[in-house]
Amino acid sequence: MALLPIVRYPDQRLRQPCKPIETFDTQLAALADDLAATMRAAPGIGITLAHVGILERLTVIELDGPGSLGVYVNPVIEWVSPEMRRHTEGSVSMPGVTDEVERPARIRLNYQDLSGATKTEEADGLLSVCLQHEIDQLDGIFWIDRLSRLKRERIIKKYGKLKG
């Protein structure tokens, strides 16, 4: 497994929609392994190929340590609950800053696994937050876009100070 270089905000690739993955092979599986290793090293609990500058629809999420890795190829949210929840979010592409984001409490999504098989999954709690956050990234929506203009400006200023 190799660590991939993480692109940092304000890299424009973080604002680009990702294209669907069409080839399911050992190369894709190796890329998913590299992405997972990169996420763990960051450290983070979720990451997309967009975070490493590859504009294709793949995300990995690991909430409960080794053995709990979820791999989602071409994920699309098909339903969201009307109930909303707030959760603190951040990004491996903007380390050192976080803020609360409001999102639907539950979702249902369609995705493919590494063999190309289509899956449907429902999620709530932290998994729901992570999936929405990472799917936003695959759609070219960076997490701070979900904040008010004032909060977004504060986060960008704080991040600028952290970067030096």
CATH label of the domain that carries residue 102: 3.90.45.10
pLDDT band with cut points at 50, 70 and 90 for residue 66: confident
State yes or no: is 134 an active-site residue: yes
Which amino acid is located at 159 in the chain?
Answer: Y
Which residue among 56, 62, 89, 134 is the active-site one? Answer: 134
What's the confidence (pLDDT) of residue 65?
83
Position 5 in a domain = no
- The average confidence (pLDDT) of the chain is 97
Position 103 in a domain = yes
Q: Which domain holds residue 141?
A: 12-163
Which structure tokens are listed for 16? 């680009």
Q: Is the pTM of this model over 0.85?
A: yes
Tell me which residue has tokens 């603190």: 88
Position 138 in a domain = yes
Q: Which residues contact 67 (CB under 8 A, 6 or more apart)?
A: none
Q: For residues 43 and 57, what is the distance between their CA atoms, to the nearest angstrom?
A: 21
Q: pLDDT tens, 88-146?
A: 999 999 999 999 999 999 999 999 999 999 999 999 999 999 999 999 999 999 999 99
What's the confidence (pLDDT) of residue 144?
98
What's the confidence (pLDDT) of residue 150?
97
Q: pLDDT tens, 3-23?
A: 999 999 999 999 999 999 999
What's the confidence (pLDDT) of residue 11?
97
Position 1 in a domain = no
